[in-house]
Structure 1
Amino acid sequence: MHSLDTPTAAEAMAPRHRVALAGCMFLITASFGFLQPFVPLFWEASGLTRAEIGLVGGFGSGVALLVQPFLGKLSDRLDARRPVMMLAAIASGLAYFAYQWAVNPWMFFVLTAIGVNGTLYLNAAGCVIIGRIAGPRSGGAVYAAYRVWGSVGYIVVALLSGWLISGVYASAGDMSRSALVPVFRWGPAIFGAIALLCTVIPDRRVQKPHNAHAGGEASSGPSVGASRRVLRPFLISFFLYQFALYGASAYLSLFMKSLGATPMWITGTFAAGVVCEVLVMMRIGRISDRIGRKPVLAVAFVLMPLRLLCYIPATGPLWVLMVQLLHGLNFGIMGAVAVAYVNDVANDRDRGAAQASLASAGGLAVAIGPAVCGLIAQRHGIGAMFGTMALVGAAGAVLFLARVPESNPVDRLRRLSPRG
């Protein structure tokens, strides 16, 4: 695993700040270790249909389209993220804790909207903080070095959640509502720990130049207009990617349940994918710093539709687990390098808004994707849903390859140099 002592990070932070930031990233992503496998199962155990499951998940993510840009601009204006991160963590924790008492779709609508917005902001704000620490030349490596701790957290929490259900509170095959409640009794404590860590993580402010000709990172990067022109095709292709992958993934635990999987099989499958994600993420940031963001991202874009097609002929949980190992080349790349891409094309002063745009594109995809997938799965089956989403993902890959330029500043400097 990469050391956190990359030159830029070591110069910017004291050791306690590095540990606090790594711990915060560990916990933010760890929260998905109980949310991703068990939220759809809990909705189904509470009596929601597949179509209602898609609408509930979509509504929560759709609200993010209104809230996330506001939070991004607010934190840019204040030039501070820790206070908003603390509030977001507390709100998310309380929302998911209250799942225990939700009994109808409307209650899940409200609680999910609060929880999803909190987790989205925590991710986006963490990206901004790391982007400011890293600077443009080593952004991929530094972000991946911190983000990999989040993947470790996901594995730990996913396996603990499966053990909690299968080994402590219920029998191995029991996925009733009462059996799943303990996950939402104990899991939200993670958000309380995030709120505490937010009191000590670094939150570097923009350094204003002493005169109009002063350089430095605060004034580096393209103009706002140039950033938007570069970002637009990337955000559209990213939207299609997220729409396909996370629309289909919202039903993966239900698909595994239909194949006879137990809670430990389900959480073990998600954890296995994240183990591969860790292995990829340990190296991919430095690789993208060296050869450019686009070639690395292209692997994730092209592979994802093929992965969705491979789920269709599954005959049991083991088949799904083997396909899920490809997650390492999907989120292992996209989770680190997409953030670095956005940091590359944004200035310090608009980086919060740029990351909020990335979060909003993902939020829109996750809002519409599960709802559309729920309707397809309800009417035509989960196999047809995977096939349809593979076509959507293929469209995103074509757009990315054809229209999205390279963003890595090292690559741009190499091409502009006399020797290049």
Structure 2
Amino acid sequence: MLGTDRRVIVLALARMADAVANSFLIIVLPLYIASGELALPGLEGLVIFGYQITLELLIGFALSLFGFLNSFAQPFTGRLSDRTGRRKIYILFGLSVLAVTAVAYAFVDTYEALLVVRALQGLGGAFVIPTTIALVNDLARSDAERGGNFGVFNTFRLIGFGFGPIVAGLVVQAGPYTLVNGVVLSGFNAAFGVAVMGALVSFTLVTILVEEPEIAKADATDDISISVTGEPADQLLDPIFVLGIGTLFMAISIALFATLQEAVNTRLDQGPMWFGIQFSAVVIANVVLQMPIGRASDRIGRRPFLVGGLVILAPAVLAQGLVTSPWTMLVARLFHGVSVAMVFAPALAVAGDLAEEGQSGTTLSVLTMAFGFGTAIGPLASGLLFGYGFVVPFAFGAVLAVAALVLVATQVEETLEGAVVPQLIPRRGE
């Protein structure tokens, strides 16, 4: 981390605290919905439009709602931060919403009420994610620092996201807790309390220690549409659009796993602790590799990591549908994490390289929006596809990974000046 702007490190620590809160809920909400403590709508077993409503599908929808609303709003919040030349105020507002909604989970008693809270939480997250990423990009003093900045930021964010599920499982399992005066706190409410603390810690760090730099206000139109076609005659698709599609497909592959907690545990004859470790393996691999890969992409180029990571992604995802023991699932998840680490920071760095001055919030929101949509679609897709067989959701993720590889390898050029990039797959026109 030597040479990294102090504000980037503070933002990374703040995002780590917030990520602990969010990752707690990824593990806790499925358990909460399945626990019987929450009144369900009585739809289980019904067939709607040819699909049977299962508990997994209800869980997947609840998990996905955050991502859908979060992602839909991100282009607007990213654009707003560009237009006003402000980042910090929107980050703090979003963190406030996340804290309040985490408290609200403790008071809901129906599935429908939980969905309302989840939706509000998604809108709050839309103010945090693109503006934080844009601020990290703004703090890069040159292109040769951008990958390193994103590597540091993602490392700390993923530490929170990776270790949160493990701690969440312990907190829920160790409950209920007897407090002073004989007050009893359930394991679920204790987990929601930890989520609140994460958001408040993040709010405090940003408020006290982050001073945003002067940035140019974007003077472009209010049009937030995404360019699809490339500008050069020999380039079929816009590279930002392609990176958005690649990020979407990668995020779907990551999010397929969460909905299938009960199915995975049954198939592998394992307990919730094993699942928490396997879920976190993708993130732990990212924690170890994000920083060195980000810095390496500043030296030798972005494209080798983008293409190499996507080469690994498809087999790593497919393997998760084929393994039959906890240890082999862990290995597959670790390789999945390696592939994501090779793609994530370099993709953000490419978007930052291509962003026009004062428009990093708008440009980078394409990738953060795509990632959010992927985390929303993934649980829903696995809930729907699981009925056709355990391997089917993972085979679907592997097909998407191959599509992402072809698109990125043929349509995304190297953006780091002077980089020497091996041509793993010839680009269009070559």
TM-score range, shorter chain: 0.7 to 0.9
Deviation string 1:263-292 (CA, Å, 9 cap, x unpaired) is 322222233433322221131011111221
- Residue of structure 2 aligned with 1:75, choices 78, 81, 88: 81
What percentage of residue pairs aligned between the two structures are identical?
Answer: 23
Q: Which amino acid is the alignment partner of residue 60 of structure 2?
A: G
Query: After superposition, what is the alpha-carbon deviation per residue over 1:100-152, rounded to whole angstroms, capped at 9, x for unaligned?
Result: 33343422322222223333542322211111111322200122123322233
Name 1:26's counterpart in structure 2. Answer: 16
Using a 3 Å threshold, how does the CA distance of structure 1 residues 194 and 366 change in structure 2: closer, same or farther? same
Deviations 1:132-188 (A, max 9, x none): 111322200122123322233334433332332334549xxxxxx964342123222
Which of the residues 134, 142, 147 maps onto 2:149?
142
Q: How does 1:108-123 map to 2 (within 5 A)?
A: 108-123=114-129
- 1:411 corresponds to: 419
Alignment of 1:392 onto 2:400: yes
Displacement of 1:234? 2.1
Query: Which residue does the alignment assign to 1:220?
Result: none
Instruction: Provide the rounded CA distance (Å) in 1 between the counterparts of 2:270 and 2:188.
Output: 15
Change (3 A) 1:350 1:102: same
Give the corresponding residue for 1:337: 346
SS of match in other structure, 1:302 = helix
Gap change, CA 1:279 and 1:88, over 3 Å in 2: same
Deviations 1:293-350 (A, max 9, x none): 1210112222222112111233333332222212431332333222212111102311
The separation in 1 between residues aligned to 2:199 and 2:115, in whole angstroms, is 20
The number of equivalent residue pairs is 379
Please report the RMSD computed on the Cα atoms of aligned residues, expressed in angstroms.
Answer: 2.8
Which runs of no fewer than 5 residues in structure 2 stay unpaired?
41-53, 178-184, 218-229, 422-430
Deviation at 1:66, TM superposition (A): 3.4
1:302 and 1:188 map into 2 onto residues whose CA distance is 39
2:335 equivalent to 1:326: yes
Aligned residue in 2 for 1:37: 27
Is 1:159 aligned with 2:166?
Answer: yes
CA–CA separation in structure 2 for the residues paired with 1:118 and 1:346: 25
Aligned pairs (5 A) from 1:185-200: 185-199=193-207, 200=209
Corresponding residue number in structure 2 for 1:63: 69
* 1: CA distance, partners of 2:269 / 2:105: 26
Task: Establish whether residue 267 from structure 1 lines up as the match of residue 273 from structure 2.
Answer: no
TM-score (norm. length: structure 1): 0.81
- In 2: Cα distance, 1:22 partner to 1:65 partner: 21
2:358 is paired with a residue whose SS is helix
SS at match of 2:210: coil
Give the 3 Å change call, closer, same or farther, for CA 226–153 of structure 1 in structure 2: same
Amino acid at match of 2:66: G
**Structure having the larger proportion of residues in helix:** 1
